[in-house]
């Protein structure tokens, strides 16, 4: 599946790759929360963060936004765990509904469920966007 990026997303990716030398697979700009989330190639997290967070700090100053970095994985289960790393995910089940849509159902520890959902649902919403764009997973359900 190919991801269609906006002009702004392409600009941010170019700047991020120039500053960090990490390879970006996808990017989501959240204007409402003044945040940019980058999906970097597996193994590039260290490059993206830099020593003591120096590289990510440069990026945040350059774009004047909060910057979040998530590591990509070719395994959908590991990918979802990376997306919601603040939560303790006990298990992930993949299924298909009657319309043929892929759905991921997560069993999340009750103590970290709030972290998975995020303030006003922003974490789970971002996770759904990336899962849809990268693996054609239509929905992520937390139980």
- pLDDT, tens digit, for every residue of 67-107? 999 999 999 999 999 999 999 999 999 999 999 999 999 99
User: Quick check: is 65 in a domain?
Assistant: yes
Domain containing 53 equals 7-71
Considering the domain architecture, whether residues 83 and 137 belong to the same structural domain is answered as yes
**Same-domain check for residues 45 and 88:** no
Return the pLDDT at 104: 96
- Over residues 5-17, the mean pLDDT reads 94
Pick the last residue of a domain from 21, 48, 71.
71
Task: Say whether pLDDT at 1 is over 70.
Answer: no
Q: What is the CATH number of the domain that holds 101?
A: 3.30.300.20
Q: Is residue 2 part of a domain?
A: no
What's residue 5's pLDDT?
A: 87
- Considering the domain architecture, whether residues 138 and 80 belong to the same structural domain is answered as yes
Same domain, 52 and 84: no
Same domain, 61 and 82: no
Confidence of residue 4 (pLDDT cuts 50, 70, 90): confident
Domain count across the chain: 2
| Average of per-residue pLDDT values in the chain | 93
**Residue by residue, what is the 3-state secondary structure of the chain?**
CCCCCCHHHHHHHHHHHHHHCCCEEEEEEECCCCEEEEEECCCCHHHHHCHHHHHHHHHHHHHCCEEEEEECCCCHHHHHHHHCCCCCEEEEEEEECCCCCEEEEEEECCCCHHHHHCHHHHHHHHHHHHHHHHHCEEEEEEC
Instruction: Establish if 1 belongs to a structural domain.
Output: no
In a domain, 51, yes or no: yes
pLDDT-based confidence at 136, cuts 50/70/90?
A: very high
- Which of 54, 71, 88 is at the close of a domain? 71
Q: Whole-model pTM?
A: 0.91
Last residue of a domain, one of 27, 48, 71: 71
Enumerate residues 6+ apart whose C-beta is below 8 A from 129: 28
Residue 3 pLDDT level (bands cut at 50, 70, 90): confident
The pLDDT assigned to 10 comes to 94
Q: How confident is the model at residue 2 (pLDDT cuts 50, 70, 90)?
A: low
Residues 53 and 96 in one domain: no
């Amino acid at each position: 599946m190919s991801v269609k990026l906006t002009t702004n997303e392409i600009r941010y990716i170019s700047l991020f790759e120039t500053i960090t030398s990490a390879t970006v697979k996808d990017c989501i700009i959240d204007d409402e929360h003044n945040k940019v989330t980058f999906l970097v190639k597996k193994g590039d997290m260290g490059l993206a963060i830099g020593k003591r967070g120096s590289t990510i700090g440069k990026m945040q100053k350059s774009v004047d936004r909060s910057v979040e970095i998530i590591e990509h994985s070719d395994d959908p289960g590991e990918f979802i765990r990376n997306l919601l790393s603040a939560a303790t995910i006990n298990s992930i089940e993949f299924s298909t509904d009657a319309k043929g849509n892929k759905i991921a159902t997560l069993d999340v520890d009750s103590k970290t469920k709030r972290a998975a959902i995020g303030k006003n649902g922003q974490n789970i919403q971002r996770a759904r966007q990336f899962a849809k764009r990268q693996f054609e997973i239509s929905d992520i359900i937390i139980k």
